[in-house]
Structure 1
Amino acid sequence: MHLTPEQLEQFDRDGYLFFPGLFTPEETRGLNAAVPELYSRREAYNIREKDSDAVRTNFAAHMYSDPFARLARHPRMIKPVEELFGEEVYMHQFKINGKMAFEGDVWQWHQDYGTWMNDDMMPTERAMNVAIFLDDVNPYNGPLMFIPGSHKKGVIDAKHDLTTTSYPLWTIDNDLIKQLVERAGDKDGGIVSPTGPAGSMILFHSCLIHASASNLSPWNRVSVYLSLCAVSNHIRRHKRPEFITHRDFTPIECLPDDCLTKNYPVDTPWKQGMPASALQTSLEEISVSV
C-alpha cells in the first residue's frame, strides 16, 4: 500500500488520513472474536475503567495473541508509516482500546507524543498511530475527535492528569484547545471525527491533538492502535513497564497482505504468560545501538 501525492499533501496539511472500510469483514472477524477472551483476563496489561469493570485498554496483545500478532505485521498498517518516515519502524505500543457501551470513559485532549516524550524520553515526534476500527464507529459511540492541522503547533506543554480517568495522560489546557479549534475553522471544521464501518483505518501524526467523549450509546467502539516509531528514534527510558512501552527496537517485518485470513506462523513470546521483566521499570537513561 503506497500513499498518493494527494494523500501525502493531505497528511502534511491535516495531520491524519482516513481509509474507510480498508479491511474487509472477513479480515476483521478473527480479531473481533479474540477480544472478549483477552478482556476477560485478570492481568496487568488490562487497564479497566475508573468506576467499572470494563476494559479501557488492553496492552501488548501482539505478544500473546496470534490474530493480533499478524495484524501487528500487516503491510497496510506498516508500509504507509515507513513511507512517511523514510525508514523502518518498530512497535512502540500496541493497544486495543475498549470504549464499551454505556461504560467507555473519556480520553482527554492530548498529543500522544507528549506522553512519549515526557514518560519514555522519545527524542522526536517521528512516531505515529495507526488505528483500525473493530466495530462500526458512529457519532454516538465515542469516536475520535481531531483538531485538523494542530500537529503544526509542535510539542505543546501539558499537565499530567492523574485523576480524571483510570489511565494517566499528559493533557492540554482548555483555553489552548479553544484557540486551536477556532484557528482550524471553529464550527466549520475546527473539530473532525472520522466515522465508518469496522475495518476502517486512521493514520495520524503523533503531535495531532485528539480526544474522545464517553460512550453513552448501546454500541461498543473497540479499536486497535499500533504506535509505530522510527527505529532511529527509539525511546531512551523505561519509566513505564514493557507491556505498555516496548523495548525491542527491531524493525517490523511485514507478513503478506492476506495475513488476516491465512494462518501464517508468528512469534508470540508471552503466550504462556507475561515475564516478570515486563513489569520492571527504571528512570535511568538507556543507550541502544540499532
Structure 2
Amino acid sequence: MQLNADQVRQFEEEGWLFLPEAFTPEEVAVLAREAEAIYAANRPEIWREKSGAPRTAFAAHTFNEAFRLLGAHPRLIGPVEQLFGEQLYMHQFKINAKAAFTGDVWQWHQDYGTWARDDGMPEPRAMNIAVFLDEVMPINGPLMLIPRSQRHGTLDAGHDTSTTSYPLWTLDDAVVTKLVAEGGIVAPTGKPGGVLLFHGNLVHGSAPNITPYPRKIVYLTLNAVSNHIRKPTRAEWIAHQDFTPIAPVADGALTDYARAYRQAAE
C-alpha cells in the first residue's frame, strides 16, 4: 500500500495520518481474540495497571503467529518505507489496552524522547503505526495528538515512574499548554481496522477509560535500519536488537490465517 500525495503532505505538515478501515473485520476479529488470550497469560512481556487489568503486552509478534503476520504486513510496512525512503526493522511491538472502567492514563509525551534516552536511537527516523482492534470513540480514552508539535524537535522531559504502572518520559503542563495553543488537540476515532501513523516527536497522550467500552490498539514501532539503536538499556523484548530488515508477507496472509483459525474452531 502506498500513500497518495495529499496523505504524504498531511503527514509531513501535521505529523499524523489516519487511514480508516485498512484491515477487514475478519482480520481484526482474529487479532482481537488472540490479544485477549495474550493478556490472560502469565508472561514478563505483559504489564498490568495497578488495578491488575492489562495495560500493554510487548513483543507479541515474536510468539504469536497472527501478530507476526501483522508485524510484517505490507499495508503497514509500505507507507512507512515510503515516508523514510529505506527498509525498516521492528524496534518495538506492543498491544495497548484501555480496559473498561479501569484503563489508566498515558501522560503527555513524545515517543522519540524515550527511544533516544533509553535506547540510544540517533534520530527520530522511527514512528508508531497503530491498528485499532476495537472501536475507538471520543469517550473510551482515544489517543490525543497535538498537531504540528513534531516541529519543535525533542523536548525536555521528566522521568515519571509513579503516576502509572509504566515509567514514561513526560512533558510538563506549561509546555503542553503552549503546544496546544499553537496546534490544538485532535483525537482520531474510528472502527476496528483503522490505522494511525504519527511522527516520533508528535506529542500525544490519552485519558483514563471510565466507560464500559474497552479499546485495544496494536502499536508497531518501525525504525529505519540505518537508524538502529546504539545504547540499549531496556530488555530486548521492549527495545529489539535484531536490526534485520522486515520482509513483508503477502497482503492476504492475515486473511488466510483468520480463515484457517475459524475453520479449526468450527
Is the structural similarity TM-score above 0.5?
A: yes
Hey, what does 2:159 align to over in structure 1?
160
Q: 2:130 is paired with a residue of what secondary structure?
A: strand
Hey, what does 2:261 align to over in structure 1?
none
How many pairs does the alignment contain?
A: 258
Hey, what does 1:197 align to over in structure 2?
191
Instruction: Out of 207-216 and 29-38, give the one that drifted further.
Output: 29-38
CA apart distance, 1:24 = 1.0
Establish whether residue 134 from structure 1 lines up as the match of residue 128 from structure 2. Answer: no
Rounded to whole Å, the distance in 1 between the matches of 2:110 and 2:121 is 13
Rounded to whole Å, the distance in 2 between the matches of 1:26 and 1:35 is 15
Matches within 5 A, 1:188-227: 190-227=184-221
Establish whether residue 123 from structure 1 lines up as the match of residue 115 from structure 2. Answer: no
CA apart distance, 1:30 = 0.8
Rounded to whole Å, the distance in 1 between the matches of 2:257 and 2:94 is 22
Of 224, 232, 248 in structure 1, the residue corresponding to residue 226 of structure 2 is 232
- Deviation digits for residues 128-155 of structure 1 (CA, Å, limit 9, x no counterpart): 0000000001011100000000001111
Hey, what does 1:49 align to over in structure 2?
49
CA apart distance, 1:238 = 2.3
Rounded to whole Å, the distance in 2 between the matches of 1:35 and 1:132 is 12
Q: 1:31 is paired with a residue of what secondary structure?
A: helix
- Counterpart code for 2:37: E
Hey, what does 1:183 align to over in structure 2?
182
Matches within 5 A, 1:76-87: 76-87=75-86
- Deviation digits for residues 201-228 of structure 1 (CA, Å, limit 9, x no counterpart): 0011000000000000101110000000
Rounded to whole Å, the distance in 2 between the matches of 1:3 and 1:28 is 22
- Counterpart code for 2:166: Y
Establish whether residue 253 from structure 1 lines up as the match of residue 247 from structure 2. Answer: yes
CA apart distance, 1:53 = 1.2
- Counterpart code for 2:222: L
Rounded to whole Å, the distance in 2 between the matches of 1:43 and 1:34 is 15
Hey, what does 1:287 align to over in structure 2?
none
Instruction: Out of 2-11 and 224-233, give the one that drifted further.
Output: 2-11
Hey, what does 2:73 align to over in structure 1?
74
Rounded to whole Å, the distance in 2 between the matches of 1:240 and 1:259 is 32
- Counterpart code for 2:18: F
CA apart distance, 1:42 = 1.3
Hey, what does 1:282 align to over in structure 2?
none
- Counterpart code for 1:9: R
- Deviation digits for residues 230-280 of structure 1 (CA, Å, limit 9, x no counterpart): 00000012210011010100000000111111139xxxxxxxxxxxxxxxx
Hey, what does 1:12 align to over in structure 2?
12
Residues 28 and 260 in structure 1, CA contact (< 8 A), matched pair in contact too? no
Q: 1:113 is paired with a residue of what secondary structure?
A: helix
Hey, what does 1:21 align to over in structure 2?
21
- Counterpart code for 2:233: K
Rounded to whole Å, the distance in 2 between the matches of 1:238 and 1:148 is 29
Unaligned runs of 5+ in 2: 259-266
Hey, what does 1:32 align to over in structure 2?
32
Question: What is the TM-score normalised by the length of structure 2?
Answer: 0.96
CA apart distance, 1:37 = 1.3
Rounded to whole Å, the distance in 2 between the matches of 1:61 and 1:129 is 16
Q: 2:198 is paired with a residue of what secondary structure?
A: strand
Q: 2:248 is paired with a residue of what secondary structure?
A: coil
Hey, what does 2:262 align to over in structure 1?
none
CA apart distance, 1:173 = 1.1
> Identity of paired residues, percent?
55
RMSD over equivalenced CA pairs, Å: 0.9
Q: 1:124 is paired with a residue of what secondary structure?
A: coil
Rounded to whole Å, the distance in 1 between the matches of 2:248 and 2:89 is 11
Q: 2:231 is paired with a residue of what secondary structure?
A: coil
Rounded to whole Å, the distance in 1 between the matches of 2:253 and 2:170 is 37
- Counterpart code for 2:190: G
